[in-house]
Amino acid sequence: MTVAADIPEQESWFHRNQQRIAPWLFLAPGLLFFMVYVIIPVFQSFNLSLYEWDGLGAAEYVGFRNYEDLYWEWVDRDAFFISLKNNLIWLILYLLAIPAGLFIALFLNQTVWGIRLYKSLFFFPFVISQVVVGLVFTWFYDPTFGLLNEFLGFLGLGPLNVLGDERFVTYGIIFAGLWPQTAYCMILYLTGLNAVDPEQIEAGRLDGAKGWRMLWHIILPQLRPATFIAFVVTIIGALRSFDLISIMTQGGPFGSSRVLAYYMFEVALSEYGFRMGYGAAIAVILFLIMLCFIAYFLWSMYREEKGH
Amino acid sequence: MFPKPIEKQPRAAQITYQAMLPLALLLWLGPLLAVALFSVKPAADFTNANYWGLPSSFEGAFNYGQVFFNSDMPRYLLNSFMITIPTVIGAVALSCMTGFALGIYKFKSNLWIFFMFVAGNFVPFQILMVPVRDLTLELGLYNTKTGLVLFHIAFQTGFCTLFMRNFIRALPFELIEAARVEGISEWRIFWYVVLPLMKPAIAALSVLIFTFIWNDYFWAVVLTQGAESQPVTAGITSFNAQFRAAYQLMSAGSIVAALPPVAMFFLMQKHFIAGLTLGAVK
């Protein structure tokens, strides 16, 4: 690079310190955006959760009253309790996407004619927006014409109004959510299976391992990175569940399919009135739950980094 | 290869497998195929309760014509493109730089900043909702595509930085050292040495972010309201309200709304999967 002769001092200072300054210049725009729209809002929400605010007038400081109210909702088995309980159901059942994805990946990990197209088509549900998935499954469950009830009728059962029944609604929505999530886990495992060391499989075969034993002792350990990512995205996906609930039931019937993410939205931005502070308190609880997982993920990544 | 290749199995197993594939696919995509079937049926089929029989007449052209010429759907689609494309460009551009900074330079807070991006990427949307909505209102960008784009760029920068940084880490560092020995400035190293090598990462991220943003629903509902700025995910609810009980039109509308990311996926499959499965293999 040519050095401009008329500003030697400035140029040389920048030159000498270039490697120290450069990373900050490269980081500046991204960091600024991320700070303004993500990091600072997290703290603002924490602060807001100590206020009562309708989004327009002056905010009134109420200390921990929002959290006290949540506590009483918990004790009374009210909306907050139901949301939290449903979040737990989501978390547990959503993890089924991981074994289901592995199962489909094992099923499709062949080299027959046209298998590539099959893999793509099995992955299909993940590419579609959750809004459309929600609509598709709303019709699937429809008590008058849904495929599910056609099928149940064929077996001499039903009709079953899955989305209208407090007992089934959450499970019905989770099942819809599992559809794209399983596709995602499947693609992770297909990629992982591609990279499994053939020599180890051969060695295993020589030792007489096959079927389940082979899968458990030789294949799964090699799929660990894929499993980790599947675990991360599934947990995050479960706690973020909003679109499906909003489209399929709007939290109903009688609020029985709410989760924290949806309940928060309802409290802060819908006909239930603009209770921003209360909504923020719910968001804080959801954030703290997520934080346990985030901390675990970061810790795993940290060990990985140090290991290199 | 695991499981054992089917070619090495008995003939009967091979035939069973070949027969099971299309059946499994049919089962897997069943709910979607049902919607596709609905979308070519005439309205009369629904009033006559002929839900699952063959369409009494093929009305695909009419139904899709209604979606395109007699509703706000084209508007929503256009909005989606006008939100998605700038976001892809913005987030990829920012993260090329942040990824370069975090992947190449050694400085004290490097790992902390990186972890901040990663952690921010996992945060639940709800904790950002009220402050981001307020900020957007204050900037006068509520119910505008710009407001949505700015937020999306910022939020996606978290994931993109994770992706880019790890990609750059895997590049041969000797290249950069050699360039430094030559006395090439850091900016030029970024532009002429590293950026050309990042093309596959840029392609993979672009298709991923396109899909993520196209499919976003939450922020569309929080930051926009009417047909002038709402993307198709949010628009489809108004569309469905307009054509309540006209299942053939709602189905056609859903399929249209879902199509662009699907097309993107099939066109850029290799990059898409490379992006999604980054880190799934050591």
Can you spell out the DSSP letters for B102-152? Answer: HHH---TTHHHHHHHHHHHHHS-THHHHHHHHHHHHHTT-TTSHHHHHHHH
Q: Do A226 and B157 touch (CB under 8 A)?
A: no
Does residue A150 sit in the same domain as residue A281? yes
Q: How confident is the model at residue A3 (pLDDT cuts 50, 70, 90)?
A: very low
Does residue A39 sit in the same domain as residue A104? no
Residue B201: predicted pLDDT: 93
B127 CB burial (10 A radius; 0-12, 13-18, 19+): buried
Taking the whole predicted model, whether its pTM rises above 0.90 is answered as yes
| Least confident piece of the model among A9-18, A193-202, A247-256 | A9-18
Q: Is B205 on the interface with A (CB under 8 A)?
A: no
Residue A72: predicted pLDDT: 93
Q: Do B157 and A130 touch (CB under 8 A)?
A: no
Q: Residue A226 and residue A191: Cα distance in Å, rounded?
A: 8
pLDDT at residue A271 greater than cutoff 70: no
Alpha-carbon gap: A234 to the closest alpha carbon of chain B (Å): 12
Does residue A122 sit in the same domain as residue A32? no
CA angle A51, A35, A246 (to 5 degrees): 60
The residue among B5 and B131 whose pLDDT is bigger is B131
Alpha-carbon gap: B259 to the closest alpha carbon of chain A (Å): 8
Mean pLDDT, chain B, as a whole number? 92
| Least confident piece of the model among A6-15, A248-257, A265-274 | A6-15
Does residue A205 sit in the same domain as residue A284? yes
pLDDT at residue A201 greater than cutoff 80: yes
Count the domains in chain A: 2
Nearest to A128 among B6, B222, B262 (CB): B262
Residue B194: predicted pLDDT: 94
| Least confident piece of the model among A18-22, B150-154, B158-162, B167-171 | A18-22
| CB neighbour list of residue A42: distance below 8 Å, 6 or more residues apart | A287, B120, B123, B127, B128
Does residue A194 sit in the same domain as residue A121? yes
Question: Is there a domain that residue A281 lies in?
Answer: yes
Name which of A301, A178, A119 is nearest A228 in CA terms: A301
Taking CA atoms, what residue in B is nearest to A20?
B107
Q: Name the strand (E) or helix (H) holding A171.
A: helix A169-194
Residue B124: predicted pLDDT: 95
Q: Do A20 and B28 touch (CB under 8 A)?
A: no
pLDDT at residue A1 greater than cutoff 50: no
Question: Is there a domain that residue A60 lies in?
Answer: no
Residue A42: predicted pLDDT: 97
Q: Residues B194-239: pLDDT tens digits? A: 999 999 999 999 999 999 999 999 999 999 988 899 999 999 988 9
Alpha-carbon gap: A52 to the closest alpha carbon of chain B (Å): 13
Contacts of B212 in chain A (CB under 8 A): none
For residue B97, report the phi and psi dihedrals to the nearest 5 degrees.
-75, -45
Does residue A220 sit in the same domain as residue A256? yes
Q: Which residue in this structure is represented by tokens 């993107």?
A: B264
Domain ranges across chain B: 73-276
Q: What domain range is A22 assigned to?
A: 8-48
Residue A270: predicted pLDDT: 77
Q: Residues B48-91: pLDDT tens digits? A: 888 888 888 888 899 999 999 989 999 999 999 999 999 999 99
Taking CA atoms, what residue in A is nearest to B181?
A1
| C-alpha distances in Å from residue B263, one per residue of A124, A196, B158 | 11, 31, 26
What would the mean pLDDT of A290-295 be, rounded to a whole number? Answer: 95
Q: Is B156 on the interface with A (CB under 8 A)?
A: no
Alpha-carbon gap: A69 to the closest alpha carbon of chain B (Å): 18
Residue A56: predicted pLDDT: 82
Tokens of B2: 């695991």
Question: Is there a domain that residue A115 lies in?
Answer: yes
Q: Residues B8-34: pLDDT tens digits? A: 888 999 999 999 999 999 999 998 998
A91 CB burial (10 A radius; 0-12, 13-18, 19+): middle
Alpha-carbon gap: B157 to the closest alpha carbon of chain A (Å): 7
Q: Residue A122 and residue A117: Cα distance in Å, rounded?
A: 9
Contacts of B29 in chain A (CB under 8 A): 121, 124-125
Question: Is there a domain that residue A106 lies in?
Answer: yes
Q: Residues A109-121: pLDDT tens digits? A: 998 889 999 999 9
Residue A5: predicted pLDDT: 47
Q: Residue A273 and residue A66: Cα distance in Å, rounded?
A: 15
Instruction: Count the Cβ atoms, other than its own, within 10 Å of residue A73.
Output: 18
Does residue A22 sit in the same domain as residue A77? no
Does residue A98 sit in the same domain as residue A12? no
| C-alpha distances in Å from residue B267, one per residue of A185, B138, B147, B263, B275 | 21, 40, 30, 6, 14
Does residue A85 sit in the same domain as residue A180? yes
54-83 in chain B: CB under 8 A from chain A: none
Q: Do B98 and A30 touch (CB under 8 A)?
A: yes
Q: What percent of chain A has pLDDT over 70?
A: 95
pLDDT at residue A48 greater than cutoff 50: yes
ipTM of the complex: 0.92
Task: Pick the most confident of B114-118, B179-183, B241-245.
Answer: B114-118
Q: Which residue in this structure is represented by tokens 């497998």?
A: B17
Question: Is there a domain that residue A54 lies in?
Answer: no
Q: How confident is the model at residue A4 (pLDDT cuts 50, 70, 90)?
A: very low
Contacts of A214 in chain B (CB under 8 A): 2
Q: Are the beta carbons of B211 and B264 closer than 8 angstroms?
A: yes
Name the CATH code of domain B73-276 (choices 3.40.390.30, 3.40.50.2000, 1.10.150.120, 1.10.3720.10): 1.10.3720.10
Q: Residues A141-190: pLDDT tens digits? A: 998 888 888 888 888 887 889 999 999 999 999 999 999 999 999 999 99
Residue B187: predicted pLDDT: 92
Does residue A176 sit in the same domain as residue A233? yes
Q: Which residue in this structure is represented by tokens 């739950």?
A: A289
Mean pLDDT, chain A, as a whole number? 90
Q: How confident is the model at residue A308 (pLDDT cuts 50, 70, 90)?
A: low
Query: How many Cβ contacts (< 8 angstroms) between chains A and B?
Result: 290
What would the mean pLDDT of A26-37 be, rounded to a whole number? Answer: 96
Does residue A258 sit in the same domain as residue A119? yes
Residue A250: predicted pLDDT: 92
